């Protein structure tokens, strides 16, 4: 393990990590560009590198892009990736309050801690956790998705019923196109272009960015700028101290992220949403979430970054990538002639542990970069709305187009954006719709595969008997009961206040 540490702090390793971090920040900060895209584009350039440096560069890009997607999410309410949706819920209200710089630094510091926790989990617990991950089958993934859905209770706004309706609409949007399990064309209305389905990132840009543009336009006379920027000396230190004063949220979110990351296929969005939900649930003052609570940004970003480390566990220990960028890193390993698996810990320990350390170092470089860049980036909000609104519209169109070089994704994005804006006017919030768009494609395949399994036994046997399923059902029940109880309590308090 120490040999790996020495290798990872060599000048050449630090150089490739720094390059990877800055490329990751570029990829993450552009709406529509994902870590998968970035790692895939970088892959050919790593072929001639030493194996550890190739992995370090790809890992650094992965880690820093997980942080950088917080930049558009916090500053202009545009989550560039599904993982950043939960960050936008509190990051953008912070920016509106003039705390954009603080939001970005909180995201950067959470990324550092999250990456460190994910890296340490990878270094010390990879082998035992990998065997647990293998016990997750379709029914367990179904319940993970249902558990994540309970976050609707936290982000629905005043009406839980409308929040659930929004979540259902989001999940229905995700069913358009060829079904993932049976290859059946659904809801394409005779349009061949719709067979490819609605891209999640394009849909999320439509759900969050376009309504934000419309809101900027409608308020342009009242608000010349989208938010104010207040220069604040020593904000980095103050923010870090504030987060560390109550470290439970940070640690809990990092552990949730690492745990979800270990599960192949669950991915960053689920990690961020589940940890955000838990942050709300365990908070003494739930009402501050969604209105600019730094804890919300911390929960989402810590989980997203620790998920990156967690996703490396099944990749290296079993050869199963835990996320799409991890699949590209698997490709890098294979290109280097390295076969991942349990034997790798014995045959190439310096590579395995060196990779774990480089992830942690990348988290540190990301935090330094975020602290340096946060002030300049936060000034973006001072661009007048008359210029910012068309630029965000342009980025939304380009981001949606760039995913698959397809104008259909742009049309979808605009259509969804207009519908979500109008639904917002009648009290259906964007958050639950975005949540449905993300979780639908996770829940449906798990449900269908579980039902197929049930053909040879029974539905209750498949869904309700494994210890993991029972645990997840219990968590879902507790979470739902808590939402109902806390909503009733808030309503009673509101009535007393009235």
Partner 1 sequence: MQRSTTEPVSMSSKPDDQETPATVAGDETRGRQIPVEILTGVIMAGVAALFLLNAGSTKLDWLFPIVLSYVLLAIAVVLILRGVLGFGGKIPLVPPILRGHGIDVLVFAVAAIAYAALTPYVGFWIMTGLVITGAAVYLDTQRSLKRLIIAAAVAVAVCVVAYLTLTEIFYVEFPLGFLDQ
Nearer to partner 1, 122 or 421 (CB): 421
Nearer to partner 1, 255 or 395 (CB): 395
Q: End-to-end alpha-carbon separation of the chain, Å?
A: 62
Nearer to partner 1, 196 or 448 (CB): 448
Nearer to partner 1, 104 or 165 (CB): 165
Minimum CB separation of residue 491 from partner 1 in Å reads: 8
Minimum CB separation of residue 27 from partner 1 in Å reads: 8
Cα–Cα distance between 346 and 122 in angstroms, integer?
Answer: 15
Minimum CB separation of residue 129 from partner 1 in Å reads: 30
Nearer to partner 1, 361 or 442 (CB): 442
Minimum CB separation of residue 294 from partner 1 in Å reads: 15
Q: What is the DSSP letter of 209?
A: I
Minimum CB separation of residue 421 from partner 1 in Å reads: 7
Nearer to partner 1, 209 or 274 (CB): 209
Q: Kindly provide the b/e burial profile for residues 163-191, where b requires at least 16 CB atoms within 10 angstroms of the residue's own CB.
A: bbbbbebbbebbebbeeeeeeeeeeeeee
DSSP 73-141: HHHHS--SSGGGHHHHHHHHHHHHTT-HHHHHHHHHHHHHHHHHHHHHHHHHHHHHHHHHHTT--HHHH
Minimum CB separation of residue 39 from partner 1 in Å reads: 12
CA 486 to chain centre: 26
Spatial contact of 151 and 158, defined as CB atoms under 8 Å apart:
no
Minimum CB separation of residue 428 from partner 1 in Å reads: 7
CA 58 to chain centre: 18
Residue 40: enclosing H or E segment and its boundaries?
Answer: helix 35-46
Cα–Cα distance between 140 and 483 in angstroms, integer?
Answer: 22
Minimum CB separation of residue 290 from partner 1 in Å reads: 5
Nearer to partner 1, 207 or 315 (CB): 207
Q: What is the DSSP letter of 187?
A: S
Nearer to partner 1, 143 or 367 (CB): 143
Q: Which of 268, 346, 261 is nearest to 300 (CA)?
A: 268
Helix, strand or coil, per DSSP, at residue 315: helix
Minimum CB separation of residue 187 from partner 1 in Å reads: 6
Cα–Cα distance between 326 and 344 in angstroms, integer?
Answer: 17
Q: Which of 130, 169, 133 is nearest to 429 (CA)?
A: 169
Cα–Cα distance between 459 and 451 in angstroms, integer?
Answer: 7
Nearer to partner 1, 189 or 497 (CB): 189
Q: Kindly provide the b/e burial profile for residues 125-148, where b requires at least 16 CB atoms within 10 angstroms of the residue's own CB.
A: bbeebbeebeebbbbbbbbbbbbb
Spatial contact of 133 and 319, defined as CB atoms under 8 Å apart:
no
Nearer to partner 1, 130 or 200 (CB): 200
Residue 486: enclosing H or E segment and its boundaries?
Answer: helix 467-497
Supply angle C-alpha 251, 273, 118, rounded to 5.
Answer: 40
Spatial contact of 27 and 46, defined as CB atoms under 8 Å apart:
no
Minimum CB separation of residue 431 from partner 1 in Å reads: 8
Q: What is the dihedral of CA 45, 49, 54, 57, to 10 degrees?
A: -70
Nearer to partner 1, 166 or 259 (CB): 166
Minimum CB separation of residue 138 from partner 1 in Å reads: 12
């Amino acid at each position: 393990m120490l040999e790996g540490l020495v290798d990872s702090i060599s000048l050449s390793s630090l150089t490739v990590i720094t390059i990877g971090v800055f490329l990751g920040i570029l990829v993450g900060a552009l709406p529509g560009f994902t870590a998968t895209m970035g790692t895939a584009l970088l892959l050919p350039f790593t072929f001639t590198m030493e194996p550890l440096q190739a992995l370090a560069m790809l890992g650094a890009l992965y880690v820093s892009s997980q942080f950088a997607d917080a930049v558009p999410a916090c500053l202009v309410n545009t989550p560039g990736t599904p993982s950043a949706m939960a960050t936008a819920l509190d990051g953008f209200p912070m920016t509106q309050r003039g705390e954009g710089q603080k939001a970005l630094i909180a995201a950067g510091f959470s990324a550092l801690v999250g990456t460190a926790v994910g890296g340490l989990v990878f270094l010390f617990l990879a082998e035992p956790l990998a065997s647990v991950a293998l016990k997750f089958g379709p029914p367990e993934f179904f319940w993970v998705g249902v558990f994540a859905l309970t976050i609707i209770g936290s982000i629905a706004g005043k009406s839980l019923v409308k929040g659930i309706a929004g979540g259902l609409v989001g999940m229905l949007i995700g069913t358009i196109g060829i079904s993932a399990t049976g290859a059946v064309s659904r809801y394409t209305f005779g349009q061949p272009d719709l067979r490819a389905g609605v891209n999640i990132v394009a849909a999320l840009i439509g759900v969050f960015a376009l309504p934000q543009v419309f809101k900027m336009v409608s308020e342009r006379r009242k608000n010349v700028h989208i938010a104010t920027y207040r220069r604040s000396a020593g904000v980095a230190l103050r923010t870090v101290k504030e987060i560390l004063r109550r470290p439970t949220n940070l640690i809990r979110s990092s552990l949730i992220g690492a745990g979800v990351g270990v599960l192949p296929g669950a991915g960053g969005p689920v990690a961020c949403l589940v940890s955000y939900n838990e942050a709300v649930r365990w908070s003494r003052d739930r009402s501050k979430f969604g209105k600019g609570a730094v804890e919300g940004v911390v929960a989402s970003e810590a989980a997203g970054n620790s998920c990156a480390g967690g996703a490396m566990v099944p990749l290296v220990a079993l050869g199963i990538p835990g996320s799409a960028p991890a699949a590209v890193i698997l490709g890098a390993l294979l290109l280097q002639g390295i076969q991942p698996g349990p034997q790798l810990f014995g045959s190439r320990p310096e590579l395995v542990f060196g990779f774990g350390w480089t992830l942690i170092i990348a988290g540190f470089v990301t935090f330094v970069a975020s602290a340096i860049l946060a002030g300049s980036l936060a000034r973006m909000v001072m661009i007048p709305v008359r210029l910012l609104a068309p630029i965000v519209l342009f980025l939304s169109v380009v981001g949606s187009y760039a995913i698959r070089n397809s104008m259909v994704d742009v049309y979808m994005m605009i259509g969804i954006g207009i519908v979500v804006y109008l639904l917002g006017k009648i009290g259906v919030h964007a958050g639950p719709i975005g949540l449905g768009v993300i979780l639908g494609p996770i829940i449906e395949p798990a449900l269908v595969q579980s039902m197929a399994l049930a053909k040879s036994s029974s539905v209750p046997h498949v869904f309700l008997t494994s210890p993991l399923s029972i645990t997840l059902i219990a968590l879902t029940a507790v979470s739902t009961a808590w939402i109902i109880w806390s909503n009733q309590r808030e309503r009673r308090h509101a009535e007393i206040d009235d």
